A and B are shown apart, each in its own frame.
Chain A
């Protein structure tokens, strides 16, 4: 191969003085599988000064959601999570906990030696009967497969009153109220 040009990438972007021509592309990104860089060849042409590449990882992060944040807690099904960047911007599809309370993020970067990549995520919904933190959370991905515990505590007991609209204060003897979340 010919001359090599190394472009440092920070927060997904890097720049370098480079001339037109055909290039073979390789990559080294913390926690990612270098062989997945795409495209693997790139022609730099006149008039085009920006080029995009993608790369994939093979780690698996499992979020186990329960009512007390422990392995033996009651699992919460239907909690929704998103992968985020450090600013809290969401990427990819929603990941939903299954009947065992597990939400599985596949293809996340990891490193068992050296600095472990930080994986950011955010919960946007629980099952409706439990409360959750909407804050941006993170964990260092220091193993190829990792499970962390997330607590969604039981929502506090609320009281609902249903009275007659025309006879103020007169309680409705029998009935039900249905609340649907947005």
Chain B
């Protein structure tokens, strides 16, 4: 098969477009490592039909990843709107636990356990 030219556009909720994009094929071979232009566009040549993994970096931090499937009849242009909620960079979060009945009374000692949901 001949190479398929794929057009991608990336943006986030605050209209930032400049991202470093790294693309692997389904075997983990590096296909592309390139930044988007200032409008968020990036073009690449898919060497064959199949699944490609798209990694999106901002300031060297992985912000988002997704797989795309390129088929003979499928889409040749993709738009990625990066939701802030999907950012997986850990940051310091403060948790407060108080008495439900005696409102505002802090519990003396204990622990809170957060179980990450598989979404």
Contact = CB atoms under 8 A, between A and B. Distances in A.
A85 B105 contact: yes
Contact of A21 (B103, B106, B117): B117
B115 A8 contact: no
Given A3-B115, A15-B95, 7 more contacts: A4-B116, A12-B97, A13-B96, A15-B94, A19-B87, A55-B110, A56-B100
Contacts of B110: 9, 27-30, 32, 55
Interface residues of A, number: 60
In this complex, which of B88, B101, B107 has the most chain A Cβ atoms within 10 angstroms of its Cβ? B107
A28 B109 CA distance: 9
Contacts of A131: none
A22 B105 CA distance: 27
The 8 closest A-B pairs by CB, nearest first: A12-B106, A29-B110, A2-B116, A92-B102, A54-B100, A23-B114, A56-B100, A91-B105
A43 B104 CA distance: 22
A115 to B, nearest CB: 9
Contact of B93 (A3, A51, A85): A51
Size category, B interface = 35 or more
A44 B113 contact: no
A107 interface: yes
A133 interface: no
A92 B91 CA distance: 34
Q: Chain A contact residues: over half helix, strand or loop, or mixed? A: strand
Interface string B30-59: 000000000000000000000000000000
Given A16-B92, A18-B91, A54-B100, A8 B105 contact: no
B92 A11 contact: no
Contacts of B66: none
17 contacts: A4-B115, A4-B116, A10-B109, A12-B105, A14-B111, A15-B94, A17-B93, A21-B119, A22-B117, A26-B115, A29-B97, A29-B107, A30-B110, A46-B85, A49-B93, A52-B97, A56-B101
A25 to B, nearest CB: 6
Interface string B73-94: 0000000000011111111111
Given A10-B109, A12-B98, A55-B99, A19 B117 contact: no
